[in-house]
Structure 1
Amino acid sequence: MYFAPDQLYHVYNQGNNKQRIFYTRDNYLFFLSKLQRHLLPHCSILAWCLMPNHFHLMLRLKDAPSYSSDSKYSPGDYKHDVNPIYSPGDYKQDVHSHPVSKDEMSKRVSKEMATILRSYTRAINNQENRTGSLFRERTKAVCITCTDGVAKNWYMINGVTVIKVETPERQYPQICYRYILNNPVAALLVTRAEDWEFSSARDVMGLREGTLIDREVIKEYGLTF
């Protein structure tokens, strides 16, 4: 996966052979704690939705800050010290740090995403007494704001950039944003998006003070739900 600076990405993966990846409420919370621990230092999360057999994220790289080579993370693995739906993050950065390029930031996000999926797979395999891969081999990261060939969401017709969606008048980031949050409704899991606990719909609707999403970046892009 490559994440270009200042672009939005739709990141998603599903269970291998479309198998279930979340079995209990604790599984969802465990996965969310991993997003908080591994991604928030590097990314702004604009939307997220965890479904029984897949997940969706909308991400943007944060501005390249200074990170220490020996920065430490908590919470502890699978102990739910921090509930990312309700509680603030617990990423701690050392005082002595060095600058990180945006290319390095992109590599870190890819590496952290792989770490999340590997460690989550180990936990579920142990829980369910299973072996083998839990997720599909490749996690997709589709640029939804790129117009420079980084992703295939845009194409040229007679020198005009055209967005690759069914109805061209719709802006793709907005449609993708609503698609992510409405996913549980489309899957007939609930009748209203806010009835599904494991998405950021409740947070953007003001029904919960979730700490994963970056409300300022959501506002910057004018995304509404």
Structure 2
Amino acid sequence: MKKYSEPFEAHQVFHVWTHANGKDNLFTEDQNYLFFLRKYDTYISPVADTFAYCLMPNHIHFMVRIKSEKTVAHFVSQKRNRDVTTFQGLRTLGRLSLEISRQFSHLFNSYTQAYNKRYSRKGSLFMSNFKRRAIVSPDHFLTLLLYIHHNPVKHQFAEHPAGWRYSSYQAYLSEKPTKLCRDEGLVWAGGIDSFLKLHDAAHTEKLKRLSLIE
């Protein structure tokens, strides 16, 4: 059984996903989803660009590209109030992946603490180890983009990606400012018309074969 724990690398696109611990849900009401996204922006946006996401009741998916070693080193040095030279050479020291992993762990832990306090709950909310897999080709990128946006369809929460509020699908159709890498994502998809056609053409039976992504 694959562990999907590939080391993070600068400028590399990754699929990152995790599940709730046991039979628990990660999100109970609308405000939980929005709160998590704010936390995500705090912990992940400084170290990674985001192409797609989907928050499901008991699991989450992201497609991110890790920022440059210099950018990550600068962020880490500011966070810890230390000279940036201390964190130079993160890649050669094997620390870049560790620092990115820490940011995801901080995200999950911070959300868990707030969620537990809100619902008088104790214990872990997420599985102990989140998973990640490098995206190695344009076809892989588009396949994952479709998979993430169709996750609510696959799990029968919606009949079409447009029917699920907690994914990046709607942001791709909007002209409002977003921190999502929308313009670049649309280039990968061949433009907005192609983006829409790709999503409309995809259907549940086809996407079931993509379960190997998880």
Shared fold (TM-score, shorter chain, > 0.5): yes
Change (3 A) 1:111 1:69: closer
2:146 paired with 1:178: yes
Paired residues in the alignment total 180
Q: Which residue identity does 2:22 align to in structure 1?
A: N
Once the two structures are superposed, the pairs formed by residues 187-206 of structure 1 within 5 Å of their partners are 187-206=155-174
**In 1: Cα distance, 2:62 partner to 2:76 partner:** 27
Q: Which residue identity does 2:164 align to in structure 1?
A: W
Q: Which residue identity does 1:54 align to in structure 2?
A: H
2:182 paired with 1:215: yes
**In 2: Cα distance, 1:205 partner to 1:219 partner:** 10
- SS of match in other structure, 1:71: helix
Q: Normalised by the size of structure 1, how large is the TM-score? A: 0.70
Q: Which residue identity does 1:210 align to in structure 2?
A: T
Once the two structures are superposed, the pairs formed by residues 110-189 of structure 1 within 5 Å of their partners are 110-145=101-136, 171-189=139-157
Structure 1 or 2: larger strand share? 1
User: For the Cα contact (< 8 Å) 1:184–1:196, is it kept in 2?
Assistant: yes
Structure 1 or 2: larger helix share? 2
- SS of match in other structure, 1:171: helix
Alignment partner of 2:70 out of 56, 65, 78: 65
Q: Which residue identity does 1:48 align to in structure 2?
A: Y
**In 2: Cα distance, 1:59 partner to 1:26 partner:** 24
Change (3 A) 1:63 1:23: same
Q: Normalised by the size of structure 2, how large is the TM-score? A: 0.73
Q: For structure 2, which runs of at least 5 residues remain unmatched after alignment?
A: 200-214
**In 1: Cα distance, 2:46 partner to 2:136 partner:** 22
My pick for the range that moved more, 120-129 or 44-53, is 120-129
User: For the Cα contact (< 8 Å) 2:171–2:182, is it kept in 1?
Assistant: no
User: For the Cα contact (< 8 Å) 1:181–1:199, is it kept in 2?
Assistant: yes
User: For the Cα contact (< 8 Å) 1:21–1:54, is it kept in 2?
Assistant: yes
- SS of match in other structure, 2:9: coil
Matched residue, 2:50? 45
**In 2: Cα distance, 1:68 partner to 1:175 partner:** 31
User: For the Cα contact (< 8 Å) 1:9–1:144, is it kept in 2?
Assistant: yes
Once the two structures are superposed, the pairs formed by residues 20-39 of structure 1 within 5 Å of their partners are 20-39=25-44
My pick for the range that moved more, 35-44 or 125-134, is 125-134
Q: Which residue identity does 1:38 align to in structure 2?
A: Y
**In 2: Cα distance, 1:70 partner to 1:140 partner:** 26
Q: Which runs of 4+ in 1 moved over 3 A?
A: 68-72, 96-105, 207-210, 219-225
User: For the Cα contact (< 8 Å) 2:16–2:132, is it kept in 1?
Assistant: yes
- SS of match in other structure, 2:150: helix
Q: Which residue identity does 1:218 align to in structure 2?
A: G
How far 1:97 sits from its partner (Å)?
A: 5.4
Q: Which residue identity does 1:129 align to in structure 2?
A: S
Matched residue, 1:9? 14
User: For the Cα contact (< 8 Å) 1:44–1:217, is it kept in 2?
Assistant: no
Change (3 A) 1:207 1:184: farther
